[in-house]
């Protein structure tokens, strides 16, 4: 293992040691945002890992960033509270103007500007992104946004929202992926000026919301790149996101396997540790094998990404395999812990709820299978 | 103020230790190595003094090539550079202190900080022996340290059983750190990156031409005996109390 990854892992472990399980358990119970943890991650520079050095970040690759997120989840935390601050800026970095990058990226790197909300999903357009109906209508000096978004995370802990909206009606474009545009929406300006944010209660401690845009004004200088090209810009960031999320899944899987192994060694029933039973130890061993296999695919995808090679297949496979492996490990951990798997103080049930999300978001497992079938294997499009 | 911090790499306290087949050491394969936790307090204190008063913090470590990891982590905390005395040999406290003192003396310093002991062999000798080797005043097991640059003196609070002793001494001196002196920082990402570029000077232990004949040799390590199964008394309290007294008196012979 290279020294930098080793040092990163140790650094994150040292930081996470200040935020032990009771910290996360209490937040989960109270449905609170991990402000102190996010501040520590920000101040220690980890959330600026992917921002180039010229803009005040560390200029690291997806490999390193995915290891950072992995270690947070491995330590029992939940990186989802702040992972998007790491990569949402990528759209601005790749497609923004020099001026946009100059004012935005250093502020994101310092943590003064939180850009960790990403508005794509709509009530009637989830995975079917190009059918989204939120519109941005050109007017003198800017755009007027109308429509709604759902499951938009971390809006209450963001200063800006990266928004995908339709600028040309679907009837007027030749391909439905055309006519979509990306905007930076200043949430402080928009709130009370057409934007309503309604929190959605979910089964885990994850701040997510429904957004209603009733003529929200966005100045023209907040358009990212060219009008109508937004879908391509968003797709560009997807592979990075897949690989980072795979890292979190692997971290969860490691958490579950370490917890299950520890418990199976310690817990004595019928005068012997339960881990002595093959019925207990084999599922842990199998889950471990699956995590390791997914880990290899994660590193392969990250290597290709960092070397500017095409990585759509590997990034999607890494996310699929890692999410499946973490879910399998979660189930094994609950089973090994028996009743205690359901008791909050063992943290298994909390992590179980958290890792379940990865089967659905940020991309559903079925859509990855559809991608692999169609684009990797050449099977007919199934949807 | 130029501060040297001597750092030892030790097995993580959470690691399960296995004794080597020859019984003279531990199996090193698969062990997670960390900076000796007491040395972390010393590093943190050195960094705080530097942040307040300026100067330089230099790490001095000794051991095989694996100690470079502890050195890199010390640099990632914020130390400026490092000197590593490389040796694959097993080194007893006197030899370690002699070699460290030689390198410290050559490096020059205002203050040497280190942990009060290392958590592997717990000998707690190296700090005091460095001071003896260099003919310096020393204060050990320190919980609070103040540096008076104008008066060129240190004021240290050290832990005694049930009391705190306050010691004033001139520096250069050797100070060993106790848990509670401070809370060591964790490295930031930019400092992890910078650590890779900081100077690490390697000195071979052999090149120091010191007489390092060991004063302590390890003949055999063995694990503490397994605890016998506990005896659990059951029955009426009056009976079990009597039986307990009998056992404590005639079996355990503590009464």
Render pLDDT for B95-127 as a digit per residue (tens, 0 to 9).
999 999 999 999 999 999 999 999 999 999 999
Contact criterion met (CB below 8 Å) for A161 and A185: yes
**Res. A383 pLDDT band, cuts 50 70 90:** confident
Q: Do B188 and A45 touch (CB under 8 A)?
A: yes
| B215: in domain | no
Q: What is the mean pLDDT of residues A107-129?
A: 93
Supply A201's token pair.
């209660």
For residues B194 and B232, state if they share a domain: no
Q: Do A3 and B72 touch (CB under 8 A)?
A: yes
Same fold, A2-110 and A117-228: no
Question: A129-159 pLDDT, tens per residue?
Answer: 889 999 999 999 999 999 999 999 999 999 9
Q: Do A7 and B187 touch (CB under 8 A)?
A: yes
For residues B104 and B41, state if they share a domain: yes
Quote the pLDDT of residue A278: 98
Q: Do B189 and A10 touch (CB under 8 A)?
A: no
Which candidate in B186, B195, B197, B200 is best for mutational testing of the A interface (most A CBs within 10 A)?
A: B186
The total domain count for chain B is: 2
Helix (H) / strand (E) containing A152? strand A142-153
Interface membership of A49 toward B (CB under 8 Å): yes
Interface membership of A58 toward B (CB under 8 Å): yes
Q: Which CATH number fits domain A2-110: 1.10.540.10, 3.40.640.10, 2.10.260.10, 3.30.56.10?
A: 1.10.540.10
* Cα→Cα distances A307→A88, A150, A235, Å: 20, 35, 18
Segments making up each domain of chain A, as ranges: 2-110, 117-228, 232-376
Terminal CA-CA length for chain A? 42
Three-state DSSP at A311 gives coil
Contact criterion met (CB below 8 Å) for B159 and B176: no
- Strands (DSSP E) contained in chain B are 2-7, 9-11, 33-35, 56-63, 81-86, 111-115, 138-148, 153-160, 163-170, 174-177, 200-204
Nearest CA to B42 among B191, B187, B201, B184? B184
Q: Is the pLDDT of residue A91 over 60?
A: yes
**Res. B224 pLDDT band, cuts 50 70 90:** confident
| B216: in domain | no
Interior angle at CA A116, CA A248 and CA A21, nearest 5 = 45
Q: Which residue has the tokens 């009637």?
A: A124
CATH number at residue B43: 3.40.50.620
For residues B33 and B99, state if they share a domain: yes
Q: What is the mean pLDDT of residues A88-93?
A: 96
Nearest CA to A105 among A224, A242, A268? A224
Question: B15-44 pLDDT, tens per residue?
Answer: 888 999 988 889 988 899 999 999 999 999
Q: Is the pLDDT of residue A2 over 80?
A: no
Which candidate in B68, B183, B186, B189 is best for mutational testing of the A interface (most A CBs within 10 A)?
A: B189
Question: How large is the ipTM?
Answer: 0.89
For residues B102 and B134, state if they share a domain: yes
| B138: in domain | yes
Quote the pLDDT of residue A150: 96
A10: which chain B residues are within 8 Å (Cβ-Cβ)?
73
Q: What is the mean pLDDT of residues A88-104?
A: 97
Q: Do B76 and A7 touch (CB under 8 A)?
A: yes
Contact criterion met (CB below 8 Å) for B252 and B243: no
For residues B198 and B231, state if they share a domain: no
CATH class label, A117-228: mainly beta
Q: What is the CATH number of domain A232-376?
A: 1.20.140.10
Question: A174-206 pLDDT, tens per residue?
Answer: 999 999 999 999 999 999 999 999 999 999 999
B196: which chain A residues are within 8 Å (Cβ-Cβ)?
3-4
B72: which chain A residues are within 8 Å (Cβ-Cβ)?
3, 7
A3: which chain B residues are within 8 Å (Cβ-Cβ)?
69, 72, 196
Distance from CA of B165 to the nearest CA of A (A): 31
Q: Above pLDDT 70, what percent of chain A?
A: 100
> Chain B window 71-100: which residues touch A at a Cβ cutoff of 8 Å?
72-73, 76
Give residue B254's domain range: 225-255
B76: which chain A residues are within 8 Å (Cβ-Cβ)?
7, 11
Query: Could you say which DSSP state residue B156 is in?
Result: E
Comparing alpha-carbon positions, the chain B residue that sits nearest to A11 is B187
Interface membership of B69 toward A (CB under 8 Å): yes
Comparing alpha-carbon positions, the chain B residue that sits nearest to A43 is B188
For residues B238 and B164, state if they share a domain: no
For residues B94 and B179, state if they share a domain: yes
| B213: in domain | no
Interface membership of A36 toward B (CB under 8 Å): no
Interface membership of A26 toward B (CB under 8 Å): no
Q: Above pLDDT 90, what percent of chain A?
A: 96
Q: Do B190 and A58 touch (CB under 8 A)?
A: yes
Q: Is the pLDDT of residue A3 over 90?
A: no
Out of A8, A18, A48, name the one closest to residue B192 (CB): A8
Supply B244's token pair.
């307990």
Interface membership of A240 toward B (CB under 8 Å): no
For residues B159 and B253, state if they share a domain: no
Out of A6, A10, A44, name the one closest to residue B189 (CB): A44
The Cα–Cα gap between A128 and B41 comes to: 55
For residues B95 and B60, state if they share a domain: yes
Helix (H) / strand (E) containing A218? strand A208-219
Q: Do B186 and A18 touch (CB under 8 A)?
A: yes
The Cα–Cα gap between B185 and B73 comes to: 11
Question: A32-47 pLDDT, tens per residue?
Answer: 999 999 999 999 999 9
Distance from CA of A377 to the nearest CA of B (A): 41
For residues B135 and B254, state if they share a domain: no
The Cα–Cα gap between B234 and B220 comes to: 41
**Res. A127 pLDDT band, cuts 50 70 90:** confident
Quote the pLDDT of residue B225: 87
Q: Do B189 and A45 touch (CB under 8 A)?
A: yes
Q: Do A11 and B193 touch (CB under 8 A)?
A: no
Question: B134-149 pLDDT, tens per residue?
Answer: 999 999 999 999 999 9
Interior angle at CA A64, CA A61 and CA A66, nearest 5 = 105
Distance from CA of B171 to the nearest CA of A (A): 33
For residues B38 and B163, state if they share a domain: yes
Which candidate in B30, B74, B192, B200 is best for mutational testing of the A interface (most A CBs within 10 A)?
A: B192
For residues B136 and B255, state if they share a domain: no
Residue count of chain B:
255
Its pTM stands at 0.90
């Amino acid at each position: 293992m290279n020294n930098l990854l080793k040092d990163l892992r140790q650094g994150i472990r040292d930081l996470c040691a200040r935020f032990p399980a009771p910290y996360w358990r209490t937040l989960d119970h109270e449905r609170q945002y991990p402000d102190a943890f996010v501040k520590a991650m920000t101040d220690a520079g980890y959330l600026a890992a992917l921002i180039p050095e010229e803009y005040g970040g560390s200029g690291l690759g997806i490999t390193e960033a995915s290891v950072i997120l992995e270690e947070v989840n491995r330590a029992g935390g939940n990186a989802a509270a702040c992972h998007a601050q790491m990569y949402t800026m990528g759209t601005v970095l790749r497609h923004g103007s020099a001026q946009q990058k100059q004012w935005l990226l250093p502020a994101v790197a310092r943590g003064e500007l939180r850009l960790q909300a990403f508005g794509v999903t709509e009530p009637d357009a989830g995975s079917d992104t190009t059918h989204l109906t939120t519109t941005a209508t050109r007017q003198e000096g800017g755009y007027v946004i109308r429509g709604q978004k759902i499951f938009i995370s971390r809006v209450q802990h963001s200063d800006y929202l990266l928004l995908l909206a339709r600028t040309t009606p679907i009837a007027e474009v030749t391909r439905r992926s055309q006519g979509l545009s990306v905007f930076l929406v200043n949430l402080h300006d928009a709130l009370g000026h057409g934007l309503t944010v309604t929190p959605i209660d979910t089964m885990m401690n994850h701040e997510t919301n429904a957004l209603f845009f009733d003529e929200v004004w966005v100045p023209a200088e907040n358009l990212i790149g060219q009008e109508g090209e937004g879908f391509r810009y968003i797709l560009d960031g997807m592979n990075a996101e897949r690989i980072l999320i795979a890292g979190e899944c692997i971290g969860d899987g490691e958490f579950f396997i370490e917890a299950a192994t520890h418990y199976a060694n310690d817990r004595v029933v019928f005068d012997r540790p339960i881990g002595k039973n093959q019925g207990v130890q084999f599922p842990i061993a199998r889950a471990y094998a699956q995590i390791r296999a997914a880990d290899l695919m994660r590193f392969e995808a990250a290597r290709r990404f960092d070397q500017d090679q095409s990585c759509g297949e590997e990034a999607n496979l890494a996310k699929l395999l890692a999410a499946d492996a973490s879910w399998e490990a979660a189930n094994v951990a609950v089973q090994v812990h028996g009743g205690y798997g359901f008791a909050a103080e063992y943290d298994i049930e909390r992590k179980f709820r958290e890792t379940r999300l990865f089967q659905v978001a940020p991309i559903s497992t079925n859509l990855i299978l559809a991608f692999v079938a169609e684009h990797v294997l050449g099977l007919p499009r199934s949807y | 103020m130029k501060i040297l911090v001597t750092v030892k790499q030790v097995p993580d306290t959470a690691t399960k230790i296995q004794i080597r087949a020859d019984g003279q050491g531990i199996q090193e394969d698969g062990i997670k190595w960390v900076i000796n936790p007491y040395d972390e307090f010393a590093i943190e204190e050195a960094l705080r003094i530097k942040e307040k008063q300026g100067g330089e913090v230099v790490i001095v470590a000794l051991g095989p090539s694996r100690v470079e990891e502890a050195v890199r982590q010390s640099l990632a905390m914020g130390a400026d550079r490092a000197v590593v005395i490389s040796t694959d040999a097993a080194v007893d406290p006197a030899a370690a202190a002699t070699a460290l003192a030689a390198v410290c003396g050559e490096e020059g310093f205002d203050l040497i900080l280190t942990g009060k002991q290392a958590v592997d062999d717990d000998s707690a000798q190296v700090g005091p022996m460095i001071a003896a080797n260099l003919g310096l005043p020393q204060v050990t097991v320190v919980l609070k340290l103040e540096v008076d640059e104008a008066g060129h003196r240190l004021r240290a609070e050290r832990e005694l059983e049930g009391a705190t002793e306050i010691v004033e001494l001139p520096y250069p001196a050797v100070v060993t750190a106790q848990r509670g002196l401070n809370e060591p920082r964790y490295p930031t990402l930019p400092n992890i990156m910078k650590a890779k570029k900081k100077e690490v000077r390697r000195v071979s232990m052999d090149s120091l031409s010191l007489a390092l004949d060991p004063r302590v040799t390890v003949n055999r390590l063995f694990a503490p005996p397994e605890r016998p199964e506990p005896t659990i008394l059951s029955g009426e309290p009056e009976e079990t109390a009597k039986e307990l007294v009998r056992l404590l008196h005639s079996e355990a012979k503590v009464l």
